[in-house]
Amino acid sequence: MSLVDLRSDTVTRPTPAMRQAMAQAEVGDDVFGDDPTVNLLQEKVAAFFGKEAALFVPSGTMANQLAVSVLTEPGTQLILDEGAHILNYEGGAPAALWGVQLHPLTSENGKPKPQAVRGAIRPKNEHFAPAVALALENTHNRAGGSYWRMDEITAITQEARKLDLKLHLDGARLWNALAASKLDPKTVAAPFDTVSVCFSKGMGAPVGSVLVGSSALIEKARFTRKRLGGGMRQAGILAAAALHALEHHRKRLVEDHARAAALAHVLSSFPGVEVLPVETNIVIADLSGRKETQIDMVETLKEHGVWVVGFGENRFRCVTHLDVDDAGIEFATTVFQKVLGAAV
């Protein structure tokens, strides 16, 4: 082995079995609503999360932005965690596309407290943009793959409802959260108006996300998807990959979690390296205690065949996924020992 790519779980390539499922997919024109494979995926994902309807879209970003569009009005506020993907990595879309002001909350582990949500609500007054929705992220990418416990979800969503807020869950890696928490998907999704999930991350599909919610909200989202140019035609080829992933790749996510824990164990043994608690498939190593900069470290690791990404000033991120097996972890361990084992 000469290379292991730990930059993200988005780097997976479809397996031969997934490619075969894609090649054999029955297709139709999904803008007319007659692609049977897309329809089947939408029905399955809606049922899995106990929602009325679902919409297949090209990316997690589009799923999140459709949720923002259907849950808000221009000039209103969406409350979310300061590390949220919607705030940090979606190109300013809530402002650029929907005229929505984001209201970030500080938190530990990407999980704001109910009191913080209450504190963000301003009284009705001509000075203040009204807050109309709250978005949570599960698992939380920037916080290192942390997941929400059911009591935490219940507490914050109940508080949000008391405050008349609509609720979206960015569940790009909700599959990982469910695998780690063993919670029932319907129970986790129940408090939310909309939930987005991705198939192109740990699930190993090449493309595709799904937004679930009530029939009325999904109908609105379908209109806006077309307006954004996200109406796809024979998309069943892609939906087939997602269906294959649902059946064959969901249960194996716990293997990625075990490998991430193994990497974390190795990384935390080196001088000056601090590793954030690992709950799923993301490992964030903080190098504040070392001489090398994060930029140099990422480069040196790459030269040795281990690809990771810089994640803030002093940190790098490793993500385990379908294309990293035990041999990959062993190879990465050897390289980490060579590069980080030396004195600080």
What residue ranges bind ligand PLP (CB under 6 A)?
Answer: 59-61, 64, 85, 137, 141, 170, 172, 198, 200, 209
How near is the Cβ of 141 to ligand PLP at its closest, in Å?
Answer: 4
How near is the Cβ of 110 to ligand PLP at its closest, in Å?
Answer: 9
Q: Is 44 buried (19+), middle (13-18) or exposed (0-12) by CB count in 10 A?
A: middle
Residue (59 or 334) nearer to ligand PLP, CB: 59
Query: Residue 122, Cβ neighbours under 10 Å: how many?
Result: 13
Instruction: Give the closest residue to 170 by CA, choosing from 200, 203, 210.
Output: 210
Sheet holding 166-171, edge to edge: 53-57, 209-213, 194-198, 166-171, 131-137, 77-81, 101-105
Query: Residue 45, Cβ neighbours under 10 Å: how many?
Result: 26
With CB atoms as reference, the residue minimizing the distance to ligand PLP is 60
DSSP strand pairing (131-137 vs 101-105): unpaired
Q: Residues near 16 by Cβ (< 8 Å), separated by ≥ 6?
A: none
How near is the Cβ of 49 to ligand PLP at its closest, in Å?
Answer: 16
How near is the Cβ of 1 to ligand PLP at its closest, in Å?
Answer: 26
Instruction: Give the closest residue to 164 by CA, choosing from 85, 82, 76.
Output: 76
Residue (121 or 167) nearer to ligand PLP, CB: 167
Instruction: Give the closest residue to 341 by CA, choosing from 312, 304, 295, 314.
Output: 304
Residue (210 or 262) nearer to ligand PLP, CB: 210
Residue (137 or 286) nearer to ligand PLP, CB: 137
Instruction: Give the closest residue to 277 by CA, choosing from 295, 298, 259, 260.
Output: 260
Residue (63 or 335) nearer to ligand PLP, CB: 63
For residues 318 and 284, what is the distance between their CA atoms, to the nearest angstrom? 6
How near is the Cβ of 106 to ligand PLP at its closest, in Å?
Answer: 18
How near is the Cβ of 172 to ligand PLP at its closest, in Å?
Answer: 3
Residue (167 or 266) nearer to ligand PLP, CB: 167
How near is the Cβ of 203 to ligand PLP at its closest, in Å?
Answer: 11
Residue (42 or 64) nearer to ligand PLP, CB: 64
Instruction: Give the closest residue to 17 by CA, choosing from 199, 197, 204, 200.
Output: 204
